[in-house]
Amino acid sequence: MITSAVHTLATELTGDDLPAYVYDLPALRAHARAVRDALPPGLELYYAAKANPAPPVLRTLAPHVTGYEVASGGEVEHVRAAVPGAPLAFGGPGKTEGELRRALTLGVERFHVESEQELRLLAGVAEDARIDAVDVLLRVNVPLASDELGGAALAMGGRPSPFGLDPEAVQRCLPLLSGAGSRGPLRLRGIHAHLASGLDAPAQLTVAAAIADWARKLSERHGLDDLTEVNVGGGMGVDYAHPDRRFDWAAYGKGMADLALRHPGRTLRIEPGRALTVYCGWYVTEVLDIKHSGGEAFAVLRGGTHHIRTPATKQHDQPFQLLPMDTTATWTRPWARPAVREEPVTLVGQLCTPKDVLARRVQVPELRAGDRVAFAMAGAYAWNISHHDFLMHPRPGFHYLDT
Ligand SMILES: *Cc1c(COP(=O)(O)O)cnc(C)c1O
C-alpha cells in the first residue's frame, strides 16, 4: 500500500514534475529498525550499497546498520563521503591496483578478496604503502548439496562462477595470509560468501549454516585462530508479485541466533541490499495516452524503463497503484479523454523499443489519460541500474520525504 506521504506528493506534483522518484525515509527507518530488532544483537548487519546508494538512503540506514558493503572504487569513495566513519567491506570482482590503493588510503576496514591474484595485488599495494595489517575475508564458493537451495532464483554457489574462490583455490591462498604462514600484511579474518539471491528465510538459514560449517572446518584444519568472522552474504528474497509478503526476518533472526550458539567465538554478518531498501521507493508518473492495437489496450506513460529498468531486467510486472486524477473539469481538450475500463492493459514507457514495458496485460477497473500510476518496490535496483541517457528524455525528479 502506498504511504500517505507518498500519495499526497504524487497527486500534488504537476504533470511536468513527473516522472518522479519518491522515497519515504520514515518508512525506510521503521523497516530498518524492525529488521535490526529481529536479528540477534551479536549479528552484524551490513547494507549492500549497490542496491541503492543515494546519500539520504545511506544516511537513514546508518543508525541501524553496522556498516556498508561496497563493490567498486566509486562506491568506496561515495559511501565514505556520505556516511563518514561507517565501517566498509570492499567486495566485488576485478578490483584494480588503483582501487585497492585508494581503499587502503581511505582506511577501508575489510577486503573481500575474490581471487588469488587479487590477494597478491592487495599484499603488494599494502607493502608499498607500508601498511602492516590489512583485514581480509576470502570470498568462497562454498559447495552446497544440490537440494540445499531449493528453487533459488539466482544460484551463485557450488557451480562455475566468476565470483569468489573455489575451495581448492582457498588452499593456495593460505600461504599468502598471516596466521596461516605468511609474515606479510594480510590477515585472514574470515570467510565471505554470497551464494544466491531471492531466498526465503528457511533457505537463507540453510545456506548460512553451510557457510559457517565450512569456515569452521577450514579454521580447524589449518589452525586459523584469527578466522573469527563469517559473512553469509545478502540475497534475502522480496516478492514483486506480492509486495505485502515480506522476508520473514523474525524466523531468520531466531535461526541465526541458534546458528551463533553453534559457533561460539565467531561473528556472523549479513549484507542484504534489496530487502532493506526496495519498499521505500516509488516511481510516480502519469498516463499520457491510451490506445488499442490488435485488440489489446496500451497505456503510454511519461518515463519508462530508462528510469526504472527493474521490470525489464527481471521480466516481471512492476507492482503499482493507480491514482485516479479527476481532471474532467480541467480536460480542456476538445476530444474525449482516452480511457480503458475493465480490461487488461499493458503499461509502456516512452522509449522506441518493444522492451519498454512496465507491466503486461494487467487488469484495471479504469485508466484514463491524466491518471497517475505509482510503481511500488522502486527503492532498490531501480534508478541506479537504468540506462538514463537512452533517447534523451528528461530525468525524473527526486524527492526524499522525511518528516
Ligand atoms: C549484490 C550483493 C549483495 C546484496 O544482494 P541483495 O540481493 O541486494 O540482498 C550482497 N553481497 C554481495 C557480494 C553482492 O554482490
305-320 pLDDT per residue, tens: 999 999 999 999 999 9
Q: What percent of the chain has pLDDT over 70?
A: 95
Q: Which atom of ligand 1 is nearest to the CA of 139?
A: 13
Please say if the pLDDT value at position 257 is more than 90.
yes
The pLDDT confidence band at residue 144, using thresholds 50, 70 and 90, is confident
The Å distance, Cα 234 to ligand 1 centre, comes to 5
Q: Which residues of the chain are in CATH 2.40.37.10 domains?
A: 279-401
Q: Is 237 in the pocket of ligand 1 (CB under 6 A)?
A: no
Q: What percent of the chain has pLDDT over 90?
A: 91
Instruction: Note if 280 is an active site residue.
Output: no
Please say if the pLDDT value at position 158 is more than 90.
no
Please say if the pLDDT value at position 153 is more than 70.
no
Please say if the pLDDT value at position 235 is more than 70.
yes
Mean pLDDT of 274-289: 98
The Å distance, Cα 271 to ligand 1 centre, comes to 7
Q: Which residues of the chain are in CATH 3.20.20.10 domains?
A: 53-272
Residue 263: the pLDDT is: 98
Mean pLDDT of 16-24: 97
State the architecture of 279-401 in CATH terms: Beta Barrel (2.40)
Mean pLDDT of 106-126: 97
Show the cell assigned to 105. 588510503
Least confident of 139-148, 164-173, 357-366: 139-148
Q: What is the pLDDT of residues 86-112, one digit of tens each?
A: 999 999 999 999 999 999 999 999 999
Owner of C-alpha cell 545478502: 234
Residue 328: the pLDDT is: 62
Please say if the pLDDT value at position 156 is more than 90.
no
Mean pLDDT of 376-384: 98
Residue located nearest, by CA, to atom 7 of ligand 1: 235
Residue 403: the pLDDT is: 79
Please say if the pLDDT value at position 191 is more than 80.
yes
Please give the mean pLDDT across all residues of the chain.
Answer: 94
Between 145 and 255, name the one with better pLDDT: 255
Residue 150: the pLDDT is: 56
Which CATH fold topology does 53-272 show?
TIM Barrel (3.20.20)
Give every CB contact of residue 339 below 8 A, 6+ residues apart in sequence: 290, 366, 367, 368, 369
The catalytically annotated residue of 133, 261, 352, 392 is 352
The Å distance, Cα 40 to ligand 1 centre, comes to 21
237: helix, strand or coil? coil
Q: Is 396 in the pocket of ligand 1 (CB under 6 A)?
A: no
Q: Which atom of ligand 1 is nearest to the CA of 380?
A: 8
